[in-house]
Amino acid sequence: MKFKNYLNDKKILIDKTLDSVIPAEDKDPSIIHQAMRYSVFGGGKRLRPALTLASAELLGIDNKTAIYTACSIELIHTFSLIHDDLPCMDNDDFRRGKPSCHKVYGEPIALLAGNALLVYAYKTILKNNDFKEIKKETILSLIEEMTRCVDTENMLGGQVKDIIQEKKENKKEYLLGLYKQKTSALICAAIRSGAILAEATEKEMKALTRYGECIGLAFQITDDILDMMQDQRNPDKITYPGEFGIKEAKKDSEKFILEALDALKIFDDKSGFLSGLADYILTRQV
Amino acid sequence: MKFKNYLNDKKILIDKTLDSVIPAEDKDPSIIHQAMRYSVFGGGKRLRPALTLASAELLGIDNKTAIYTACSIELIHTFSLIHDDLPCMDNDDFRRGKPSCHKVYGEPIALLAGNALLVYAYKTILKNNDFKEIKKETILSLIEEMTRCVDTENMLGGQVKDIIQEKKENKKEYLLGLYKQKTSALICAAIRSGAILAEATEKEMKALTRYGECIGLAFQITDDILDMMQDQRNPDKITYPGEFGIKEAKKDSEKFILEALDALKIFDDKSGFLSGLADYILTRQV
């Protein structure tokens, strides 16, 4: 399958670069660097950074120029996963089939390793300073995009809502809002960051943003469907398939995928990876 | 006292600006904004942001131009305090005489509010984009300075060492290294950020960095002396006065203050607030 080959190919470059930006395991204080590496190299598919590379590529920017931006997105993702798993948050003992960071390194080190990954995301994006072809304004826009995607309107706001579990009249509207914050925000930032690097037009940016939002929603709904089918659903949390049934969840997820594909039309046939991802989400089993 | 008047004067501007950069209490999701505000407006003296304003002022930059940079430093400070107090870290129920953030808002919201303050520090520094007189390179240097001061070589590394409490042969060297990470790093970043805004010469930057490092060490040693005299010492932690006695701790703290004052000599008589702070640390009682 073309999409999987592309992803595996990009994963090699992404992993190599992540290895170069995170301090070595034996660097003092080594336990936090071990914890950071344990989680970053704990089996992630690298979907988000691959999206950055793909949107940059679509608009004419090569992988070498986009790689630090892509990796900064993966570091943000790992930061959020480590903190999500903490005992005071979701209290998850496992992540991607392995003991979660705090089960291996203890709660305080996991907390600090999460913080450190957020800080290293900024360090990594600042590495764009080494590229003469990237304007200083562009780097500032990338930093702004990344900061906005984590703020209390987006990822952090989503985590708050996940905890307080408000009772809302319109559950569908509420859940889609929550998924936008929890999942679409970072996926959007990944795609938009590639486009920022390429100095995309407003029309291109709008199309890619809509694609990212829809892909994010479909991805999260599918995730919840898979959790439910594998009996891994957290009974304390309301989810899309839990509220509306698997059939309706699948139907709505497909609707978002079609909307995402529709947004890509302005790029003609060049958006191979992005449309491939849409198909992948529709058919994914894990 | 001139120093206290200066600090009170700056505090008004700093508080007003902090109020403008943190989302309003009633903004959704309101609980995290309440928690952020509870800690930011919980009685801090605003020493660190005042240092940014003072070093910028010393080199010819007015307060209006330096205020966002100054406030970003205070947000970093508050982020570190909230996380330091968490049950899995120091487990402190009180901060500045009031219940700590997690005692009021619960552990998960305090964790997220800490994260949010780190993110809002970046948001605040990006507000320098609004000033045409600040170069884009300068803003990137400020972001780099802030990021470096939090990384695992500095603040986060200090927090790790505070937790793991390694047994070291040379305890004085170890403790001074720890204090540099825990306290001097942010105080240095505060002072250096003002100097970065002013595009300071290498000589000026070196002097201010040395001043900042020494002030930070003296400040932390004095803090530990005061805790010990007020019986608020954490028995699990080794401290400078705990290891070497109050007399030697006071002597070493004075030595650092003299070194800090010596570093200021290149500025002639213009460094009023900075030398005033040195005197304040020597004589402070709370």
Per-residue pLDDT tens digits for A25-48:
999 999 999 999 999 999 999 999
DSSP secondary structure code for residue A265 in this structure: G
pLDDT exceeds cutoff 70 at A286:
no
Which pLDDT does position A100 carry in this prediction? 98
CA–CA min distance A78, chain B (Å) = 14
* Count of pairs with CB atoms under 8 A, one residue in A, one in B: 124
Average of per-residue pLDDT across B126-152 = 98
Query: Quick check: pTM over 0.80?
Result: yes
pLDDT exceeds cutoff 80 at A98:
yes
CA dist., res. B267 & res. B59, Å (int) = 9
Tokens 């790992």 appear where? A78
Average of per-residue pLDDT across B198-209 = 98
pLDDT exceeds cutoff 90 at A283:
no
Tens digits of residue pLDDT in B2-16: 889 999 999 999 999
Residues 6+ apart with CB under 8 A from B67: B13, B14, B17, B53
Which residues from A are below 8 Å from B161, CB to CB? Answer: 29
Long-range contact list for A249-254, CB < 8 A, 24+ apart?
Answer: A249/A221, A249/A224, A249/A225, A250/A225, A252/A221, A253/A217, A253/A218, A253/A221, A253/A222, A253/A225, A253/A281, A253/A282, A254/A218, A254/A282
Helix (H, G, I), strand (E, B) or coil at B6: helix
Tens digits of residue pLDDT in A206-241: 999 999 999 999 999 999 999 888 877 777 788 999
Tens digits of residue pLDDT in A103-121: 999 999 999 999 999 999 9
Tokens 């809302």 appear where? A168
Which of B162, B115, B160, B78 lies closest to A113 in space, CA to CA?
A: B160
Tens digits of residue pLDDT in B216-243: 999 999 999 998 888 777 777 889 999 9
CA–CA min distance A139, chain B (Å) = 8
**Tally of structural domains, chain B:** 1
Given a contact cutoff of 8 angstroms between Cβ atoms, the answer to whether A78 and A39 are in contact is: yes
Average of per-residue pLDDT across B205-213 = 98
Of A270-279, B178-187, B268-277, which one has max mean pLDDT?
Answer: B178-187
Which pLDDT does position B283 carry in this prediction? 85
pLDDT exceeds cutoff 60 at A87:
yes
Given a contact cutoff of 8 angstroms between Cβ atoms, the answer to whether B58 and B274 are in contact is: yes
| Band (A167; pLDDT cuts 50, 70, 90) | confident
Residues 6+ apart with CB under 8 A from B115: A83, A115, A118, A150, A156, B79
Element (H, E) at A260: helix A240-263
Contact between B109 and A23 using a beta-carbon 8 Å cutoff: no
Q: Between these two residues, A4 and B49, which has the higher pLDDT value?
A: B49
Average of per-residue pLDDT across B29-53 = 97
Which pLDDT does position B237 carry in this prediction? 81
Token pair, residue B12, equals: 């008004």
What average pLDDT is seen over chain A? 95
Contact between A151 and B120 using a beta-carbon 8 Å cutoff: yes
What is the CATH classification number for the domain harbouring B204?
A: 1.10.600.10
The one-letter code for the residue type at A168 is K
Given a contact cutoff of 8 angstroms between Cβ atoms, the answer to whether A124 and A71 are in contact is: yes
Kindly identify which residue of chain B lies nearest to residue A150, measuring between CA atoms: B119
Contact between A147 and B107 using a beta-carbon 8 Å cutoff: no
Which residues from B are below 8 Å from A156, CB to CB? Answer: 32, 112, 115-116, 119
Which residues from A are below 8 Å from B157, CB to CB? Answer: 28-29, 32
The predicted complex's ipTM stands at 0.96
| Band (A285; pLDDT cuts 50, 70, 90) | low
Token pair, residue A205, equals: 């940016």
Which pLDDT does position B102 carry in this prediction? 98
Which pLDDT does position A270 carry in this prediction? 77
CA–CA min distance B165, chain A (Å) = 11
Instruction: Give the structural domain span for A253.
Output: 2-283
Burial class (CB in 10 A: 0-12, 13-18, 19+), B144: middle
- Which of B23, B115, B147 lies nearest to residue A126, judging by beta carbons? B147
Q: Between these two residues, A235 and A192, which has the higher pLDDT value?
A: A192
Residue B98, phi then psi, degrees to nearest 5:
-120, 160
pLDDT exceeds cutoff 90 at B124:
yes
CA dist., res. B221 & res. B219, Å (int) = 6
